[in-house]
Amino acid sequence: MNVGLAIFWKDVLIEWRSRDRVVAMLLFSLLVVMIFQFSLPGGASADTQVYAPGLLWVAYVLAALFGLGRAFTLELENDALSGLALAPAERGWVFLGKALANLTILAPAQAATAFAFGLFFALDLTAVAAPLAGIVLLGSLGLCSVGTLFSAVAVRTRFREVMLPLLLLPLLVPIVSGSVRATTVLIATGSVPFEPIQLLVVTDVAYLIVCFLTFDYVLDE
């Protein structure tokens, strides 16, 4: 477990010093929001609020893909990946450390994107900020768990930039589906629906367990 915490701290510290992934993800997701303004009939406005939860999660997923792609690229330098593989602990803890670091690095970009969405779509998200943060956390947990695992896979394949979205997007559908439905109901009624949250929790737990157990085989050389 200490190994997991050490890796989490290492990744967060590297990000704190460079701030490259947070800034890149933030700018990217804001650009996506701006593109929605041009792609929606009549632009992003109160009339198109119905699309907001879906578009918000599209921005989150695209930004996460952008950031997750970099999660293991750093470890290729000076063969740091071999160092991770030699960590004196169950490799599942290495996975958990990396996944938690990715979740932490993604959070500021998600918060800023939600704020921008609130402005552009004339949505008052302050009243539902706490439950919305909970839904985003649940969705991001699943996203970062499979994302971290397949970032480690994709980084050692040909066409690594293409492989990560190809591997990840089909597996993210249950998470995106649950998150969008939960966010839609939350924004419309102010209450948190049970069924999408149930789908999110079940998918998160299944993904976390399988990723924790199989990370050993991904890092193996």
Which spans of this chain sit near other proteins (rule: CB under 8 A)? 146, 149-150, 153, 156-159, 163, 166-167, 169-171, 173-174, 195, 199, 203, 206-207, 210-211, 214, 217-218, 220
CA-to-CA separations, 142 to 28, 75, 113, 184, 216, in angstroms, rounded = 21, 22, 19, 19, 19
State the Rg of the chain over Cα: 18
Q: Are 44 and 121 in contact (CB under 8 A)?
A: yes
Nearest to 72 by CA among 171, 139, 163: 163
Q: Which is nearer to other proteins, 38 or 159 (CB)?
A: 159
Cβ 129 to other proteins, closest distance in Å? 28
Give 122 or 206: the residue with its C-beta nearer to other proteins: 206
Q: To the nearest whole angstrom, how small is the minimum distance from the Cβ of residue 11 to other proteins?
A: 22
Is 33 or 199 the residue whose CB approaches other proteins more closely? 199
Quick one: 126 or 189, whose CB is closer to other proteins? 189
**Least Cβ distance, residue 38 to other proteins (angstroms):** 25
And the tokens for 97? 């450390």
CB of 116 vs other proteins, minimal distance in Å? 29
Shortest CA distance to 67 belongs to which of 151, 6, 8? Answer: 151
**Distance from C-alpha of 92 to C-alpha of 1, rounded to nearest angstrom:** 9
What's the per-residue H, E or C state across 65-119?
HHHHHHHCHHHHHHHHHHHHHCCCCCHHHHHHHHHHHHHHHHHHHHHHHHHHHHH
User: Which residue, 66 or 212, is less far from other proteins as judged by CB?
Assistant: 212
Judged by beta carbon, residue 138 or residue 149, the one nearer other proteins is 149
Residue that is written with structure tokens 């193996």 in the block: 220
Task: Kindly state the smallest distance separating residue 216's Cβ from other proteins, in Å.
Answer: 9
Q: Any alpha helices (H) in 121-192, and if so which ranges?
A: 129-154, 160-189
For the CB of residue 65, give the shortest distance to other proteins in the complex, in Å.
14
